[in-house]
Amino acid sequence: MYDLVDPLLPVRAHALIALSQLLERRDPETWRHRRQLLHVFQEKLSDDDSYVYLAAVRGLACLADLCTDQVVAGLCQQYTAAERDPDTRLKLGEAIVLMVRNLGDMAPRYRERLLGTFLAGCRDGDHLLRASSLSSLAEVCRLLRFSLAGAVHEIFSCLSALLDTDPALEVRRAAVLVLAQLLTGLGVDALKVLEELLPALYRRLKALLRREHDPALLHHTQTALDQLELATRQLLFPSRRLEKRITVLGTPQ
């Protein structure tokens, strides 16, 4: 806490990092002062130096279970802020995923804001940020246990658009990977929630196999097709449980 007011910037930044590490380890003394630290981290978000700023972001992610509404809104707003440089926003995405992991069962409450934040990042002008947003989107969906409610159509529409139009190979590769992961996570439910989108989705994946040449992209595309086929089989031919009944005859009177 003394180092936070040190005249040297590296010392102040290191103090923020050390406090974040103590919070991550649930140090009892540090945890007792978490409300005070919450204000400290929020004040440092206005710092122009990325070293200090990212240390404050990490600290806020560790305090996700305190003033959760405020922390979630603040980090998501910072992620979509155009004035931040791409490298900083990439690290912000990692901090948000860490925050969602720390939230645990509380995460679904903030589903719309979290998914909306990374879907907005998928439309960013920087191709590396688009790819990173897709990766973060996949991780958030997994942490939400693929309980995507009304956002599932918007997610698949975004993925389809990126697969069709994005010029960057990294983005197309990330999009088809997310698609394969979502189909795996949804399982047979994918056929129910994506009923009207399935024909176009199947044609798009088949077209990717013919059009693309990148080995990783083709592998993820085939994985997505395999998941669609598996879900279809499970729906049409559900597994039957074999049960053996044992009847105990009563003693005749």
Q: Which two tokens stand for residue 42?
A: 């929020």
Reported as a pLDDT band with limits 50, 70 and 90, residue 148 is confident
Reported as a pLDDT band with limits 50, 70 and 90, residue 153 is confident
Reported as a pLDDT band with limits 50, 70 and 90, residue 137 is very high
* Cα within 13 Å of Cα(84), Cβ side: 25
**Residue-level pLDDT at 99:** 86
Reported as a pLDDT band with limits 50, 70 and 90, residue 131 is very high
Identity of residue 156: F
Closest CA to 71 of 121, 113, 33: 113
Mean pLDDT of 21-37: 88
Q: Which span out of 96-105, 217-226, 240-249 was modeled with the highest average pLDDT?
A: 217-226
Sequence-separated contacts (24+) of 33-40 with Cβ below 8 Å: 34/63, 34/66, 35/66, 37/63, 38/63, 38/66, 38/67, 38/71, 40/4, 40/16
Mean pLDDT of 62-72: 82
Q: What is the pLDDT of residues 188-207, one digit of tens each?
A: 887 777 777 888 888 889 99
**Residue-level pLDDT at 127:** 92
Q: Quick check: 89 pLDDT over 90?
A: no
**Residue-level pLDDT at 136:** 92
Q: Quick check: 154 pLDDT over 60?
A: yes
pTM: predicted TM-score of the whole model, two decimal places: 0.79
Cβ–Cβ < 8 Å for 90, 136: no
Identity of residue 73: A
In this structure, of 26-35, 75-84, 223-232, 236-245, the range with the lowest mean pLDDT score is: 236-245
**Residue-level pLDDT at 69:** 87
Q: Quick check: 251 pLDDT over 60?
A: no
**Packing angle, helices 169-186 and 215-236, rounded to 10:** 20
Q: Which two tokens stand for residue 9?
A: 């910037």
Cβ–Cβ < 8 Å for 198, 206: no
Residues making up the chain, counted from first to last = 253
Return left, alpha or beta for 46; rule: phi > 0 is left, psi -120 to 50 is alpha, else beta. Answer: alpha
149 CA to centre of own chain: 15
